[in-house]
Structure 1
Amino acid sequence: MSTKVIMKLLLCFPLCFLVLQSVLGDNCPGKTYTVDLEDTCRKIWTSNNITEEQFYELNPEIYCGVFFGVLNIGDEVCISVSEPKVHNASRQVEENIDESSSDEIDQDIAKSSSNDTSQGNNRCKEKIHKIESGDTCEKIQDDYGLTMEQFDDLNPRVMCSSLNIGSEVCVPDRTRFNANRGPGFKVTLYQQFNQIDNAFGVLVSGCTNLIPAWDDRASSINTHDNCIRVYTGRDCSERSRLISPGTYCHSHLTECNMNKKISSMKPC
């Protein structure tokens, strides 16, 4: 190559470089990055979470060659594309909706917290049980023949860890099953599970003691769509359990811890 050609290239390179440098970052539709000491193309696209292809698509003027490149301290390169304004407007609307929804949820939580102890007055369509000393959710479930799921369905906002004396919870109104039944009704006891074999009928009217032959003998029970409370002691004393239509331990009294433990019973 002749000396004149070399001289022309040397004279042209600074001018070409200045033109190229002036357009770096000028046409970037999004975020730019200012080249710092020891920056390389690879370092820039890696640290800004873009691929090599994306880097060159955003910066078609840049050539990161092996022998020379155009990156210099202070250069600006394009590292992202801005989103259309309509997206930002949509996002703002979504954020506003989220904020308003969050405020409404917070208000509901605040209201529910203040109403937890009186929710029965407003929402309960069954019977109100007022919390007494010694009451727990488990004890109430046992007393009214409820599973944990049934109790939660009736009291979705009650916190079992913070029951206060005098607060109210919703429980089933079992007495409606005994409406128009007259002074007494029949209950059948069985010595085996699943209401089979050795049945014994009891006419329940007020507190009724079982005959000695059936004291602590029943393993399943049929209330015939009535509601009763059974007791482990005579004369309706000691531990008790409510059993009514829908109670899960009819076929297996073990499920309500009353297997071969019933000594007396009375209507709900």
Structure 2
Amino acid sequence: MASFNILFAALAVLLFATQGHAWRVWLYRDSGHRGGHIEMSGDGCVNVPDDFNDQATSVNTHGGCVRLYQNGGCSGRSIEVYPGTGAHDNLGFHDDFNDRTSSVGPCRSKRSVEYKPFQ
């Protein structure tokens, strides 16, 4: 039984270590988390679906950090959005990023390490 507990603990540590860059975000069409929205998540770069490309005005990062990119493939101008940035309700207030999101990825800064993986 003790060896099972050690094996289980080692597996849990390995699984936690590989999820360090996981992110989750909801993108909304309108400010204040209104209008239609899509739910996205990943551990790397994900392109916004064509029917929602360049339409995000507000976001919910679920307490984590995401990087929004102006172009597909996580390229072009980008911003990090995390609790405290003030951009969640209106991306236009953060480097005029309203209706410019084409792809989403993990944050590059240490803020991504502070993110707790979602359930």
Q: Does the alignment reach a TM-score above 0.5?
A: yes
Q: Tell me which residue corresponds to 1:236.
A: 74
Cα shift readout 1:132-183 (whole Å, capped 9, x = no counterpart): xxxxxxxxxxxxxxxxxxxxxxxxxxxxxxxxxxxxxxxxxxxxxxx87936
Moved over 6 A (4+): none
Q: CA deviation at 1:185?
A: 3.3
Q: Which residue of 1 aligns with 2:102?
A: 263
| Letter of the 2:67 counterpart | R
Q: Are residues 1:198 and 2:36 paired?
A: yes
Alpha carbons 1:187, 1:204 under 8 Å: kept: no
1:258 positional shift: 0.7
Higher percent of residues as strand: 2
If asked which structure has higher relative contact order (CA below 8 Å, sep 6+), I would say: 2
Work out the CA distance in 1 between the residues paired with 2:55 and 2:29: 6
Structure 1 residue 205: Cα displacement: 1.8
Question: How far apart are the structure 2 equivalents of 1:259 and 1:247?
Answer: 15
**1:222 alignment partner AA:** N
CA contact (8 A) 2:23 2:66 kept: no
Q: Over aligned residues, Cα RMSD in angstroms?
A: 1.9
Gaps of 5+ in 1: 1-178
**Deviation at residue 242 of structure 1 after TM alignment:** 0.9
Structure 2: distance between partners of 1:181 and 1:210:
24
Could you say which residue in structure 2 is the equivalent of 1:212?
50
Structure 2 counterpart of 1:248, from 80, 83, 86: 86
Q: Which residue of 1 aligns with 2:59?
A: 221
SS of residue in 1 equivalent to 2:59: strand
Larger radius of gyration: 1
CA drift at 1:238: 0.7
Identical aligned pairs, as a percentage?
Answer: 32
Point out the structure with the larger helix share: 1
2:93 maps to amino acid? E
State the secondary structure of the residue aligned to 1:188. Answer: strand
Structure-1-length-normalised TM-score: 0.32
Deviation of 1:184 after TM superposition, in Å, equals: 3.0
